[in-house]
Structure 1
């Protein structure tokens, strides 16, 4: 599997970066994933680094989701979750990141493995604190549900997430395959999260079309993860631009999962030309063989400068005002 260079041109220029869309489970490098699986007595579908890298040659989006579940579910303990945050924070800060919002998926682990909610959340929260202490990188957290999740479990997740609002949890997302079902069954979940002070940040407009984006906006999405299919609907795209809704764009992810055929056909230039704010992100960097510097380089080739991406990151960040003021002053 090809990997991004350790020091890209944007890194050499010292540009500061904000990342709003990275699945922390998808940041784990193969060697570390094997180590975590061994210490937890779990078996992965491949037992070598090379085997995992071969597994990461995804045929389409659904294949990616399948592999993601088969590999990342070896995480079990607060120590695992803490390590995931700290390891990625070190790499991201090396590429100039000053702020990131990390996604993690607690419901699957509670549902399938009976892991305690607090075991999961405390590990990620402690990892975020350690990341700031060691690397000066501010990390906020946005737990993610999946389409098809039982609604009672989703609502419980929203309540738990709200309990951690004062410990760095700032939003609640909805990921998975958009074609699996609508967001409407989770309206109460979204209301619980919002009442608890959390923003709603769903995946939409990745594998689904513009109608998926419209549904997410109707439910009050504060930001859209991906959202690239809005480019297919000029009226919708104009609305997004007018409202200042930030789209979290992940170029390599779109290519690796097959939702975009080639970089030259990526919708990012059309999104920007229409005035949409687009942050630049890695999504699942270890699984896609990329890093934050490489994504900024790809975005620059598509007409989005590092300054553009940083401005969109500021506009979309869910952090408290004091952190936003500091990021603005950098």
Structure 2
């Protein structure tokens, strides 16, 4: 089930666009602008993929695959990077950690060539638009062990050039997070963070396994709410969940935003950031998610400011950027009335 995004220029949207935040859960290809996608589909003579409504996870992955195929030239990839960073700046994002699987690049023959292009290009876009950027190299959990190890080694080779972490993506069911332990160890040895998807399509046992692996953050993690003891453990650990409510509703994890456990997780003291996951495919940007959390989920503005603080504090951004952004969150919180009442 889907829901309409908030109006982009409503008072609530403008209010939350002004809130400094880190966007920690966003996949590069699916942050493409809709008009850019339509332009490239027309140029390539391919049908525009379905957006927002997906009958199952497989159809969602099919749509994502088409977006990857559109990025078939370095010029298109460079344009995507600039537009994604420009959009992040307009949404009040001070630190953007974007995920991709470099060995699936349609523009380059090797994953190494893809990263060698992406990292300086996105850093330059970040300087131009005033957004710090960090790349997350994603491991496809459904691929062979060799892919996981090579992805981690690739990330390690670029650890001083803009890669900040490794992630773990795709369908959890039958592909547990523990299977990536060896790859995570390689990343850790290189000084990188570990930020796997867990507790989305699979249950709380995957969140528990991720915690046992000593991860830095968990992308999604919302199914932890099904186990009160695990929620207590999460709260005590301080590990941040990078939560994407609209994604969870569109993909059928929860029937509506009113059923989503983000308010309960925050009430229990679990640190959460708010992200858009795949903005093009799910029809929301990160500001929309804050507005929906306020208006449809009833989360108080002060608690959403705390989510922004958690996002900044849990990012891999430089310490001085974090200090400045956190001070700006304080100023935002005390500087204007809550338009949602």
- Report the TM-score when normalising by structure 1: 0.89
Structure 1 segments (4+ residues) deviating >6 Å: none
Aligned-pair CA distance for 1:290: 0.9
SS of residue paired to 1:166: coil
Q: Deviations over 1:99-143 (max 9, x none)?
A: 111111223348xx9721232112321232122222111111111
In 2, Cα distance between equivalents of 1:294 and 1:8:
10
- The 1:123/1:43 distance shift into structure 2, 3 A limit, reads farther
Distance 2:12 2:88 in 1: 13
Counterpart residue number, 1:174: 168
Shift of 1:35: 4.2
**Corresponding residue number in structure 2 for 1:33:** 37
CA distance in 2, matches of 1:304, 1:125: 37
1:161-310 aligned within 5 A = 161-301=155-295, 302=297, 303=299, 305=301, 306-310=304-308
**Which of residues 116, 126, 143 is equivalent to 1:122?**
116
- Which runs of 5 or more residues in structure 2 are unaligned? 329-341
Of the structure 1 ranges 186-195 and 6-15, higher mean CA displacement relative to structure 2 is found in: 6-15
What is the deviation of 1:198?
0.7
Output the CA distance in 1 between the equivalents of 2:285 and 2:10.
Answer: 9
- Residue in 2 aligned with 1:153? 147
TM-align CA RMSD: 2.2
Cα displacement string for residues 242-276 of structure 1 (whole angstroms, at most 9, x for unaligned residues): 01010111111111111110111011111011100
- Corresponding residue number in structure 2 for 1:6: 8
Q: Could you report, residue by residue, the CA deviation over 1:133-162 in whole angstroms, capped at 9, with x for unpaired residues? A: 221111111111111222112211111111
Q: Contact conserved, 1:19 with 1:280, CA < 8 A, in 2?
A: yes
Which of 102, 108, 123 is the equivalent residue of 2:104?
108
Q: Over residues 212-253 of structure 1, what are the superposed CA-to-partner deviations in whole Å (9 max), with x where a residue is unaligned?
A: 111111222110100000000000010000010101111111
Aligned mate of 1:139, from 133, 137, 157: 133
CA distance in 2, matches of 1:304, 1:280: 14
Name the residue aligned to 1:92: 88
CA separation in 2, counterparts of 1:225 and 1:256? 16
Q: Is the Cα contact below 8 Å between 1:154 and 1:186 reproduced in 2?
A: yes
Per the alignment, do residues 128 and 4 of structure 1 end up closer, same or farther by CA in structure 2, a change over 3 Å counting?
farther
Question: Do the aligned partners of 2:5 and 2:288 also contact (CA within 8 Å) in 1?
Answer: no
Deviations 1:33-66 (A, max 9, x none): 3544677xx664x1xxxx43x4542113332123
SS, match of residue 145 in structure 1: strand
1:59 aligns with one of 50, 55, 58: 55
CA contact (8 A) 1:190 1:200 kept: yes
8 A contact 2:6–2:291 mirrored in 1: no
**Structure 2 CA distance, aligned partners of 1:198 and 1:256?**
31
| Structure 1 gap segments, 5+ residues each | none
Of residues 216-225 and 121-130 in structure 1, the stretch that sits farther from structure 2 once superposed is 121-130
What secondary structure does 1:101 align onto?
strand
User: Structure 2-normalised TM-score?
Assistant: 0.86
Q: Find the residue that maps to 1:165 and give its secondary structure.
A: coil
